[in-house]
Amino acid sequence: MYQVSHPIVFIEGLPSVKTREVVLFENGQKGEVFGITRGKVEARIFSHEPIQVGAKVTRTDELVSIPVGPELLGHTIDPLGVPLDPADRYVQPKQSRSLDAKPIDISGRQKIATSLSTGVSLIDLLVPLGRGQRELVIGDRKTGKTSLLMTTIKTQVNLGVVAIYAAIAKKKSDIKKLQEFLAVEKITDKVIIIATSAYDSPSLIYQTPYSAMAIAEYFRDQGIHSLVILDDLSTHAKFYRELSLLARRFPGRDSYPGDIFYTHSRLLERAGNFKHPKVGEVSITCLPVIEIIEGDLTGYVSTNVMGITDGHIYLDSNIYYQGMRPAVNIPLSVTRVGRQTLNKLAREMNKTLTVFLTRYDKLKNLSHFGQELTSEVKKNLLLGDLVYKFFNQPYQETIPNVVQLVLMSMILQDLIDNKQMMDQTKKGMIKACAEPETKKFFDSLMKTNDLKGFNQNILNSKDQLIAFSKLT
């Protein structure tokens, strides 16, 4: 080794070495080949310990890999598979998988046709997602991005999906908060956390999302659906920029390397809905996160990831400060494949709500005229207020899809006209949905194929539905 720009080192005398190969230093540290030029090799090391110029390096003829298997469930590990929680509980899987894998081509994929429930009524009714979709979650710092993802994890894990959370250069307090949430909800043993802190080596931080995808691909091959959270890719891009500048790569826009779009697109293309020989189809749903500054959606990395993904959920700081949770800006949020997964009833409800809320926002601008408003306008304003109060949902609460549709139908038909009654009915319905006998009643309401028939079913059963408010 003839030069060090920590964590990048420059090596000579390694013939036949290949990119992404693991190299071993004489002090026992490991690194990864980052680039190759004539007679010289660039490598990035995974630890903070300094390496002296002149140190000897040897090849291993192995690619960077991570242990994969069901043994990882319930554990927090680093991107190389080293446990970060008490080691006595950890059993290392026998199988390993390379962090970097070529995405499956189009012949091995299937159309996204199954909806994905987040448990968040605003998302499920207005910005629906599909199983295998890549949906960007974007917003300013402290706008509830992680809280929204926690609700989604809770909902999906209870439906039998494996959740993999990649915490990229996060504070240890943030990782602890996530672990505590999983413990309180009793779902720790169904989630895998791959975590790095800002104090780790940039080389290790860079590997975090790749480790998450490698683990998800293991479960995909076993026929198990998975949900991957990448929190967040803007931080990942910054550390990749640091590595590239230290390796003397030519900087592009905002000093990011020229291949930043390729890096993120290759990573996110590993998610999708795939053919499987045993179960027919299996999915990796990916929710990458981007943190922006002062609501600026035009940044280089954010527009890159918007172009790669199948839509985005925009969390607006202005809506957050008004007390709305989740603070989703509905007009600026997009889902490109989610609506195709809805049945006719859900699609008609989505269209009805979208049209109504667009009209409500226009009427709200007229509300300062006060007494000059017609009774119909006042009624629509009150109804719109109640709809938004229904969408205002604490992150610990998950609402089943059937309860979302029933409650929304009751609100739009004036069967519920105040927040207290709505909250009591909602809690009673969520509780009742857990009972097999009552669930049959809800399923009978959903047998119709269109919104008109569904609304009629709700009207016919209004007394039974309102009675659920007494269960709380």
| Residues designated as active site | 336
Asked whether the beta carbons of 187 and 157 are under 8 A apart, the reply is yes
Q: How far apart are CA 389 and CA 116, in angstroms?
A: 23
Q: How far apart are CA 131 and CA 123, in angstroms?
A: 14
Q: Which of 168, 110, 157 is nearest to 288 (CA)?
A: 168
Q: How far apart are CA 136 and CA 312, in angstroms?
A: 4
Q: How far apart are CA 395 and CA 201, in angstroms?
A: 33
Q: How far apart are CA 118 and CA 129, in angstroms?
A: 8
Alpha-carbon distance values, 81 to 177, 258, 406 (Å): 21, 30, 45
* Residue type for position 335: T
Pairing label, strands 115-116, 226-231:
unpaired
Q: How far apart are CA 294 and CA 316, in angstroms?
A: 9
Instruction: Please give, one letter per residue, the 3-state secondary structure of 351-387.
Output: HHHHHHHHHHHHHHCCHHHHHHCCHHHHHHHHHHHHH
Asked whether the beta carbons of 387 and 356 are under 8 A apart, the reply is yes
Asked whether the beta carbons of 271 and 337 are under 8 A apart, the reply is no
Strands (E), 6-74: 8-12, 21-25, 30-37, 40-45, 57-63, 65-68
